[in-house]
């Protein structure tokens, strides 16, 4: 197939991704009368946003006094001062507006007796600049993400957004001036390759948590947006920062809620020792997520892990009354039985720190416009949600801030597109002659490869390497070796072979194409992490310990800056953190302690 044979469909705007961020952006565009296409690998309400249960943050002050400035302070502190303060102010100020808007779209929030949106406390969210916990999380029972997607989807249907379901975007189209002119995509049902020619392209493709062996993320999170951006010469920002959850079921990754330790669950090593007593004598098993995760990894690294490979620890609730387990922790028994093969009433559950959330991503400003390595806006290109880095989460995200991120920056990116298209009411710029060459070369390579690497094996090798060399607790030697290994695995990814060469519903091909994206994210992560010689937020290095000069191992003098990784030559560069908010004073650097 050549460029001339590729059907071209024209839209004002194309959005890749139909999770919270993509759907929120689409509303702005369609309601402004723009002809909008939304592409998704799955039906919109099957996007990963559904998995979010905890809630969405906004300083509504419905249950007690609250203020966006306090929310901003918490977010800056949570980010370990790596978040950009203009973007953080923007997000926290906009939060009440976007949440109330969502309510008007039909979101069934839990309510107080007076009929206001009910709010509950959530880790890291405080009143009066870090004084005491505040009720800021808005939820719809334990199905907040699900309810959010349904409300946003219905609104889009009303606004005539055109959905392309079970379509996979493969690459960005960029012209010689660097302007983005749409995407090339694959329709799974026909195997057809189509160009979506657009005046504006919005990426809302979600996270890439599947680069790790142990991940709470669903299989769909393969970082396609990041891979496409990287191949098109766009840098990826702060990819060394990944949030881990301490208790994922070993092997499967399925999340065991913090509530289990809240109800008295105890972590044990191979000698049955309650090891958290050594690391956190007061809080013990209820210490903060990062402290618990690091203790677990230390136990495993020092040979006190459990199982034949000594590669997990145990979460023990066998001392609890079975009736309490059934009543207070519904579903946990089923999860343990199905995903660990263990009845937790009788035996402890094997757990490991598990990748949960990606803080870094495609660099944007707070308008959702994508920035190149020089900080210049890339014309025609926007990004929002977990695939983007605005940067509001910096080195560590606060719970409930990501659903907020989707709403605020989904909407902002949509507004930016509407503005841009109004300002220069231009016709579509011509597609360059070679617009699909790179994509077609990739597909042709897959169709003709013989004697190549198996996709599953290669993915697994990548995931194991990321987990062992770039996990929740990082070591100089392991990172250096990790870089070498991941570059070796990249060579295997370049020669993957699929046995099924058919056109229609070729899932083997799709999985190989997903792996092309995963490997870009894995490289960005490993290389950025190896280079950052400090500990900050979720990036914790054994050789950057807590000292009086560098509390928590954070080295502001040398490392208070954003990483930018570029695919070409694996080049790293750095850019300053924006410390000037929009209207208030800078929240000055301080040691992060709770």
Stretch that binds other proteins, among 179-187, 210-218, 401-409, 525-533 (CB under 8 A): 210-218
List CB contacts of 557: < 8 A, sequence separation 6 or more: none
Per-residue binding string, other proteins, 211-230, x by CB under 8 A, is ----xxxxxx----------
The token pair at 586 is 């800078």
By CB under 6 A, the residues from 169 to 188 that bind ligand FAD are 169
Nearest approach, Cβ of residue 448 and other proteins (Å): 21
Q: What H or E segment, with its residue span, contains residue 246?
A: strand 242-249
Cis omega (within 30 of 0) on the bond before 457? no
Site string for ligand FAD, 216-245 (x = CB under 6 A): xx--x---x---------------------
Q: Fill in the per-residue mask, 348 to 387: x = in contact with ligand FAD (CB under 6 A), - = not in contact.
A: --------xx---------------------------xxx
13 is an interface residue for ligand FAD by CB under 6 A:
no
Q: Which two tokens stand for residue 484?
A: 């070498």
The partner in contact with residue 21, picked from ligand FAD, other proteins, none with C-beta cut-offs of 5 to 8 angstroms by kind, is: ligand FAD
Alpha-carbon separation of residue 28 from 10, 149, 460 (angstroms): 19, 15, 40
Q: Does 334 bind other proteins (CB under 8 A)?
A: yes
Count of residues that interact with ligand FAD, criterion CB under 6 A: 44
Using CB under 8 A as the binding criterion, the count of chain residues that bind other proteins stands at 41
CA 259 – CA 191 distance, rounded (Å): 45
Per the CB < 8 A criterion, the answer to whether 503 and 191 are in contact is yes
Tell me if 328 contacts other proteins by CB under 8 A. no
Which C-beta is closer to ligand FAD: that of 299 or that of 386? Answer: 386
Distance set, CA 181 to CA 90, 171, 178, 582 (Å): 28, 11, 9, 31
Task: Give the residue closest to ligand FAD by C-beta.
Answer: 19
Beta carbon of residue 446, minimum distance to ligand FAD (angstroms, whole number) = 16
Selection from 239, 290, 355 nearest residue 78 by Cα: 290
Q: How far apart are CA 530 and CA 510, in angstroms?
A: 31
By CB under 8 A, is residue 505 in contact with other proteins? yes
| DSSP one-letter string for 20-75 | HHHHHHHHHHHHTT--EEEEESS-GGGSGGGG--S-EE----SSS---HHHHHHHH
406 binds ligand FAD (CB under 6 A): yes
Quick one: which segment of 84-92, 284-292, 425-433, 501-509 binds other proteins (CB under 8 A)? 501-509
* Cβ proximity of 314 and 260 under 8 Å: no
- 14 lies in the site for ligand FAD, by CB under 6 A: no
| Residues 31-50, mask of contacts with other proteins (x by CB under 8 A) | ----------xx--xxxxxx
Write the interaction track for other proteins spanning residues 111-150; mark x where CB under 8 A is met and - where it is not: --------------------------------x--x----
- Residue 17 sits in the site that holds ligand FAD (CB under 6 A): yes
User: Which residue numbers are catalytic?
Assistant: 289
What stretches of 359-487 adopt beta strand conformation (E)?
362-363, 369-371, 377-383, 388-389, 453-454
Q: How many CB atoms lie within 10 A of CB 450?
A: 6
CA 301 to chain centre: 27
In the complex, least distance from residue 499 CB atom to other proteins, rounded to whole angstroms: 12
CA distance 593 to 19: 34
Q: Is 548 exposed, middle or buried (0-12, 13-18, 19+ CB in 10 A)?
A: exposed
Considering the complex, state which of residue 118 and residue 357 has its C-beta at the smaller distance from ligand FAD.
357
What are the φ and ψ backbone dihedral angles of 291, each rounded to 5 degrees?
Answer: -65, -45
| Segment contacting ligand FAD by CB under 6 A, of 16-24, 266-274, 494-502, 541-549 | 16-24
Residue 230, token pair as written in the block: 């990287």
Please, what is the minimum distance in Å from the beta carbon of residue 312 to other proteins?
12
Binding stretches for other proteins (CB under 8 A): 41-42, 45-51, 143, 146, 166, 188-189, 215-220, 251-255, 330-331, 334-335, 337-341, 500, 502, 504-507, 510
Binding stretches for ligand FAD (CB under 6 A): 16-22, 39-42, 47-49, 51-56, 145, 167-169, 204-207, 216-217, 220, 224, 255, 356-357, 385-387, 399-403, 406
């Amino acid at each position: 197939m050549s460029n001339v044979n590729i059907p071209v469909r024209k839209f004002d705007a194309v959005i890749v991704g139909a999770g919270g961020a993509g759907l929120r952006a689409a509303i702005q565009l369609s309601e402004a009368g723009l002809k909008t296409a939304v592409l998704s690998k799955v039906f919109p309400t099957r996007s990963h946003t559904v998995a979010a249960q905890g809630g969405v943050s906004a300083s509504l002050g419905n249950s007690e006094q609250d203020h966006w400035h306090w929310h901003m302070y918490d977010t800056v502190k949570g980010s370990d001062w790596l978040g950009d303060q203009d973007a953080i102010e923007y997000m926290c100020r906009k939060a009440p507006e976007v949440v109330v808007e969502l309510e008007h779209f039909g979101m069934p929030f839990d309510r107080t007796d007076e009929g206001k949106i009910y709010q509950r406390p959530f880790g890291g969210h405080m009143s009066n600049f870090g004084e005491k916990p505040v009720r800021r999380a808005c939820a719809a029972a334990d199905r907040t993400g699900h309810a959010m997607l349904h409300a946003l989807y219905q609104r889009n249907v009303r606004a005539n957004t055109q959905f392309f379901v079970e379509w996979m975007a493969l690459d960005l189209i960029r012209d010689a001036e660097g302007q983005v002119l749409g995407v090339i995509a694959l329709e799974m049902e026909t195997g057809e390759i189509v160009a979506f020619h657009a005046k504006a392209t919005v990426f809302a493709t979600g996270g890439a948590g599947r680069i790790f062996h142990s991940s709470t993320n669903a299989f769909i999170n393969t970082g396609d947006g990041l891979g496409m951006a990287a191949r098109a010469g766009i840098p990826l920002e702060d990819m060394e920062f990944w949030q881990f959850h301490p208790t994922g079921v070993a092997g499967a990754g399925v999340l065991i809620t913090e509530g289990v330790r809240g109800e008295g669950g105890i972590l044990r090593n191979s000698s049955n020792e309650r090891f958290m007593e050594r690391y956190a004598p007061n809080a013990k098993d209820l210490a903060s997520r990062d402290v618990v995760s690091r203790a677990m990894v230390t136990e495993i690294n020092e040979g006190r892990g459990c199982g034949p490979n000594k590669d997990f620890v145990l979460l023990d609730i066998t001392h609890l009354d079975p009736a309490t387990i059934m009543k207070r922790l519904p579903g946990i028994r089923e999860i343990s039985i199905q995903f660990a093969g263990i009845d937790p009433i009788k035996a402890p559950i094997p757990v490991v720190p598990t990748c949960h959330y990606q803080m870094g991503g495609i660099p944007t400003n707070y308008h959702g416009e994508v920035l190149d390595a020089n900080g210049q806006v890339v014309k025609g290109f926007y990004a929002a949600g977990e695939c983007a880095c605005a940067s509001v989460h910096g080195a560590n995200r606060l719970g409930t801030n990501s659903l907020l991120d989707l709403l605020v920056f989904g909407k902002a990116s949509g507004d930016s597109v509407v503005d841009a298209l109004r300002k220069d009411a231009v016709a579509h710029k011509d597609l360059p002659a070679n617009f699909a060459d790179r994509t077609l070369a990739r597909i042709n390579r897959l169709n003709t490869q013989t004697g190549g690497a198996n996709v599953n094996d290669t993915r697994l090798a990548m995931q194991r390497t990321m987990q062992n060399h770039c996990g929740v607790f990082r070591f100089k030697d392991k990172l250096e070796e990790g870089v070498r290994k991941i570059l070796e695995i990249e060579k295997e990814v370049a020669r993957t072979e699929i046995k099924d060469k058919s056109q229609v519903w070729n899932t083997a091909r799709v999985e190989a194409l997903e792996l092309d994206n995963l490997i870009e994210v894995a490289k960005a992560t490993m290389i950025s992490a190896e280079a950052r010689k400090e500990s900050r937020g979720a990036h914790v290095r054994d050789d950057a310990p807590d000292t009086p000069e560098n509390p928590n191992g954070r080295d502001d003098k040398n490392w208070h800056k954003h990483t930018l990784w570029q695919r070409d030559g694996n080049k790293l560069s750095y850019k300053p953190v924006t410390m000037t908010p929009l209207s208030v004073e800078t929240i000055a650097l301080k040691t992060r302690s709770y």
